[in-house]
Chain A
Amino acid sequence: MLQSYISEIGRSAKSYCEHTARTQPTLSDIVVTLVEMGFNVETLPAYAKRSQRMVITAPPVTNQPVTPKALTAGQNKPHPSHIPGHFPEFPDPHTYIKTPTYREPVSDYQVLREKAASQRRDVERALTRFMAKTGETQSLFKDDVSTFPLIAARPFTVPYLTALLPSELEMQQMEETDSSEQDDQTDTENLPLHMSTDDSGPEKENASVLQQNTSLSGSRNGEENMIDNPYLRPVKKPKIRRKK
């Protein structure tokens, strides 16, 4: 009886407190609850002040167990000025240290080349086979169409475009090599792959005759708008009286 009464008080008090969007019931919540339950609150102080009430002694104070200090490695970084002091401290410095765990990469040149080559070959073969399977094919052997399938030749509407324009892959490569070119000078020694890129020896001068003239462009482009070229002039409107 008492238990259910008390728990009912608790429950309603909690409801009231939640009703007012709080999480912790306050005194007023309990008061309202008691009122609701038909209890005369005003009698409460008197009851509390009655003479023969029982006093329960406070439990003896036990020593707080000392929480062992977390393992610290070095000094935590102090807060910078814009972080209020009550915020928790930065993590210990060691948390910033990363320890890579992957395997030692294969750096043997021969193996690398071998791998790259076979990988590319596999990809190419798979791709072409797939294309051949899904499209029309031609074959060199009448009796066996599947062993050496050739993707059928299909005429283009504008054959010169595919023949002349560099493919996207090549374009991409070109950009890459262009950008990597500057790097080449600096870190040739470090990378094993670069053992192949020496060899541009004494004949460079001779070769330069043929060398592509890449130094063009740029500087003069700005002027182009000013150029008086008849093909750049605006097209004239027809005159009303033109000899025809």
Chain B
Amino acid sequence: MNRKKGDKGFESPRPTTHQVVCINNINFQRKSVVGYVELTIFPTVANLNRIKLNSKQCRIYRVRVNDLEAAFIYNDPTLEVCHHESKQRNLNYFSNAYAAAVSAVDPDAGNGELCIKVPSELWKHVDELKVLKVHINFSLDQPKGGLHFVVPNMEGSMAERGAHVFSCGYQNSTRFWFPCVDSYSELCTWKLEYTVDAAMVAVSNGDLVETVYTHDMRKKTFHYMLAIPTAASNISLAIGPFEILVDPYMHEVTHFCLPQLLPLLKHTTSYLHEVFEFYEEILTCRYPYSCFKTVFIDEAYVEVAAYASMSIFSTNLLHSAMIIDETPLTRRCLAQALAQQFFGCFISRMSWSDEWVLKGISGYIYGLWMKKTFGVNEYRHWIKQELDQIVAYELKTGGVLLHPIFGGGKEKDNPASHLHFSIKHPHTLSWEYYTMFQCKAHLVMRLIENRISMEFMLQVFNKLLSLASTASSQKFQSHMWSQMLVSTSGFLKSISNVSGKDIQPLIKQWVDQSGVVKFYGSFAFNRKRNVLELEIKQDYTSPGTQKYVGPLKVTVQELDGSFNHTLQIEENSLKHDIPCHSKSRRNKKKKIPLMNGEEVDMDLSAMDADSPLLWIRIDPDMSVLRKVEFEQSDFMWQYQLRYERDVVAQEEAILALEKFPTPASRLALTDILEQEQCFYRVRMLACFCLAKIANSMVSTWTGPPAMKSLFTRMFCCKTCPNIVKTNNFMNFQSYFLQKTMPVAMALLRDVHNLCPKEVLMFILDLIKYNDNRKNKFSDNYYRAELIDALANSVTPAVSVNNEVRTLDNLNPDVRLILEEITRFLNMEKLLPSYRHTITVSCLKAIRVLQKNGHVPSDPALFKSYAEYGHFVDVRIAALEAVVDYTKGTFACVFLFISLVDQLWKLMNSGTSHDWRLRCGAVDLYFTLFGLSRPSCLPLPELGLVLNLKEKKAVLNPTIIPESVANNQEPVNSTNNHGQSVGFQNTEDDHLIKETASSISGHQQGVKRKADMPLGSPLEPGQILEKNEDSKVKLKIRFSNSQEEEEIDMDTVHDSQAFIYHHLNMLERPSTPGKEQSSGEVNMHPVSAAPLSVFSKESNSSKHSDHHHHHHHEHKKKKKKHKHKHKHKHKHDNKEKEKDPFKKKCTCCSWYFLWEGKD
């Protein structure tokens, strides 16, 4: 909706004031739900004779309006986006159709899937604008989205088995489990009733009024009341045999977890009250709901989901007191969830384009919490990290728009035409885009804070909250409830009211417009004028960038102190003269004052004798969403690293120093490593930089391998330096350093490009002497990282004549490594570590060994670990490995075609039960094939324009805009791989961790997705699949930096693996009878692997050969033909999958049509 309208309150033709949801029966065995809803509607317009509601998946038996039977129509255009098996296969077409389908049921536009005819007897009643009560009986059978059943396959009653069910979904997804007006902007009060097995607990929104047994005493009914007006999208439910823990500090807070996890729950939630106190204090506002519930469940859709007065978390966030690494992560999740209680649940949004305000505020106050809890360093590090992420994403995809305004629905005006999806609706957004959107939102909030001060900022929040809480206690008729909705304009207005400042330019720059700023800076010192001539250029032509005009802070550290200068960046001025305060070398002896007032002695011998400049920083406070590439000489970076106290500056300096492999850089890095006052993340980063520098300096390096003596000094026994001390992780800083250093050291290479023997032995000794008996904390993460270190030390095998890898010709070093890995992996079976971190590392290491040609490449191992029933982290690792098989290998075009087909089906109709999954499928399709018709597809029978010859000329270029352009030239750099992989791994580590949440969310979400084909509800297949695709994305992102050319093939192959898995896993749990498929699935990787050594040319030529070849064939034989080919099985498989798939979809969509009673 647009801004002007927003202020006056949202007008809906069918505002609901109260809704009753009653679920009478939940059957875990059959995964079904039966219940009814009753909506109280106040018509606002006369002649309202049709009421549109949202409902998906539900089977609706009966609709009554004021006790009169009413006819209804069910039509959901999103079930199948493109009808009639269109031959289009082009993403542009799909995206438009999808956006249209979604807006056709958009509740904010008064639409919905379910259209109820108000009985004619009531028309008069309606014209008098009297209350209508709509009563709908519905049931839900094996829901694929919205509600997720987790039913472990074992003996015992459902409660004993730990079976549970919970609501989930991306954005407004409540319509998946009961009919409602599924919008964030339509508020009403709620009465919720759930009748469940006596051994179960139903947790839902609002206050639990009472729990009553049914007459047979075998079930009980939970009655909830939610008197605060709440949007349907914020309604949630979790039912299971939960253990109940009342928070010892706040009795109105209750925690729930699955059986046996109570001790973990106690520990994990013991911290929550502090978060509460913090938010209530800064917002000077009490927590708006009368109670709060946290539920920890398995197979969560996302790590954290916030709903009115309750939050649903992944059970994997629980941890015991012995775990170090997970603790801050979990606390962050808790804090995030709580921040969203205030902004997101209590205060909802006016329309989708106001989403950024909510995400921004909740992200911003969460940031304040971080700053208070983890310290300023951690906070600034986080901001930097988020900034880098958003910048990288925007530059890659072309921009994230926070506040899209849609004028008149003309597609031409589409503000996001660079994207392959529409940003008009939350449901069409790529998940990755959405995470970046949230990230940008809170960064922009921080920019606003910079402009108007934190005090005013908090006042604004307080104002929003207090208005909302006044409104929440009002009756509906007073039309006050819209105060509980936040809109962009309302938010901006209260900012200007409170602060009196005009932030319009800022909003225009960052909110109404997408893109980030890219600065290139360089400088020269003019000795005569004693002036610093700074040149700042901008790149505002590449995609994802915008021009910045306005103030820019530059900090110059001179001999006499640190000085801030605010430059005005204008249209044409590139050069800025900044007068220097100090004459060079005037006062050698004096201490040098820093920004923070500290005065330090510096060894100035390294600097340029003519210039008083120590270092220069552009936009040190990150008050512009930008990427800065600044040139200054190596000694300046070194000074910056040593003496600048800002962690962001230190990190920047470390990154810059990678390009200066000199003894001076080495010294600076080593000093930082040793300095205990230095922020631990900076020190960790320094480890990796030092490894890189050491490798570049390998011929001139003197002394023991980098970091070895340092590690010995810090962590080994004084008397016997080859033995590491028994573990004591009380000091977390040194714990993290101890973990990281071996990983970085393993990246060292000698002149032969091998990992020095000394280093390998050192790491093996660390493993050997690792002794955790006296430690208060678990060492599982440490051991896992030691295995990562082993993996990092692996270099490509010297292969003689492509011999087959056997035990006999195993390199002795590798034998040692393998010995360790085997033992660790086996021990994990007997004594599993927390979150199976060690298994994860072992799997990764095995894959590295395979990839480097030490061990035969065989995906069977990973496949077994990827199956449903393994811990989710393990499955992700295994899947990553499986996907990796396809890297660099070449598959024939047949696969592409089936892949296109399958993927198309998936996004067209296979994923209608999960927005996120569908968008994920779209992303994957886009990554593989680009916006237009996939080039590998045979021409549509309609015969577009092309014939064989032309095709090459026309189709391929169309794909070029994205990385997919490289489609035809995959590069097989198996040899380079080893090294780059090594580096990647470590870098990726961070990335992976960051993205982990989204991935795991993803994959989990995925769980309940694609089962459609087989009609089995949530399935691992899905999980997998989503994993896969998010992984694909990951890979792309990573590889961009180093292996540009490979990208494309990688992803292509990724997707194949993805499909396998999809197939493979899909079949498994649902119908044991189909197990055969898993066997067949093996076919591909095995066959593909040997092909991996193709050279560039052969690849491309082959590719096109196949291409044509297939093209011909295809024309003749048409699609159903089974090619006599290795992949025959695969086809079979696919067909198996497709058939039920299709049937089911079509059934569904028409099933409800006119099912009414008339």
Contacts and interface: CB of A to CB of B under 8 A. Distances in A.
Interface in A126-179: 127-128, 131-132, 138, 140-144, 147-153, 155-167, 169-170, 173-174, 176-178
Given A127-B830, A131-B829, A163-B834, A210 B327 contact: yes
Contacts of A20: none
Contact of A180 (B723, B725, B774): B774
A28 B217 CA distance: 88
A167 B832 contact: yes
B106 interface: no
Interface string B837-872: 000000000100100000110101100110111111
Given A138-B861, A230-B207, 6 more contacts: A140-B846, A157-B869, A159-B871, A200-B731, A203-B733, A238-B213
Complex A-B, nearest 7 residue pairs according to Cβ-Cβ distance, in ascending order: A155-B869, A128-B826, A196-B725, A230-B208, A163-B871, A110-B720, A220-B248
A118 B771 CA distance: 11
Contact of B826 (A131, A160, A173, A228): A131
B607 interface: no
Interface of A: 109-110, 113-114, 116-118, 121, 124-125, 127-128, 131-132, 138, 140-144, 147-153, 155-167, 169-170, 173-174, 176-178, 180-181, 193, 195-197, 199-204, 206-207, 209-210, 212-214, 216-217, 220-221, 223-224, 227-233, 235-239, 242
A153 B862 CA distance: 9
Nearest to B714: A199
B832 to A, nearest CB: 5
A177 B775 contact: yes
B806 A170 contact: no
Contact of A151 (B213, B315, B826): B826
Contacts of A200: 728, 730-731
Nearest to B728: A197
Contacts of B719: 109-110, 195
A213 B270 CA distance: 7
Interface stretch (B49-57, B258-266, B381-389, B746-754): B258-266
B298 interface: yes
Contacts of A153: 861, 864-865, 867, 870
17 contacts: A114-B723, A147-B807, A153-B865, A155-B868, A156-B871, A159-B870, A160-B871, A164-B316, A164-B834, A166-B778, A195-B718, A196-B717, A206-B375, A209-B374, A212-B267, A212-B321, A236-B212
A153 B869 CA distance: 10
A150 B214 CA distance: 52
A173 B772 contact: yes
Contact of A236 (B211, B251, B264, B316): B211
B570 to A, nearest CB: 44
Contacts of B849: 140
B1129 interface: no
A225 B208 CA distance: 18
A213 B330 CA distance: 14
B864 A152 contact: yes
B323 to A, nearest CB: 8
A201 B774 CA distance: 18
Contact of B244 (A121, A150, A231): A231
A153 B805 CA distance: 23
B373 interface: yes
A102 B236 CA distance: 69
A138 B818 contact: no
Interface of B: 152-154, 162, 198, 201, 207-215, 217, 220, 244, 246, 248-249, 251-252, 254, 258, 260-261, 264, 266-267, 270-271, 291, 298, 315-316, 318-322, 324, 327-328, 373-375, 676, 717-720, 723, 725-726, 728, 730-734, 768-769, 771-776, 778, 805-807, 818-819, 822-823, 825-827, 829-832, 834-836, 846, 849, 855-856, 858, 860-861, 864-865, 867-873
Contacts of A114: 723
Given A131-B830, A156-B869, A231 B254 contact: yes
B864 A212 contact: no
B831 A235 contact: no
Contacts of B856: 140-142
B768 A121 contact: yes
B444 to A, nearest CB: 28
A170 B832 contact: no
Nearest to B832: A162
A232 B807 contact: no
Contacts of A206: 375, 733
Contact of A170 (B201, B322, B855): B322
Given A156-B869, A157-B152, A150 B825 contact: yes
A238 B214 contact: yes
Contact of A196 (B249, B315, B728, B860): B728
B246 to A, nearest CB: 5
A221 B834 contact: no
A222 to B, nearest CB: 10
A163 B836 contact: yes
Contact of A224 (B248, B728, B772, B832): B248
A204 B735 CA distance: 12
B774 A177 contact: yes
A175 to B, nearest CB: 11
Contacts of B244: 231-232
B943 to A, nearest CB: 49
Nearest to B806: A143
A89 to B, nearest CB: 49
A161 B830 contact: no
B246 A231 contact: yes
Interface centre among A110, A155, A195, A203 (most CB of B within 10 A): A155
Contact of B773 (A173, A195, A209, A229): A173
A202 B720 contact: no
A117 B768 contact: yes
Contacts of B730: 200, 204, 207
Contacts of B248: 216-217, 220-221, 223-224
A160 B212 contact: no
A204 B731 contact: yes
A218 to B, nearest CB: 9
Interface centre among A169, A195, A210 (most CB of B within 10 A): A210
Contacts of B210: 230, 233, 236
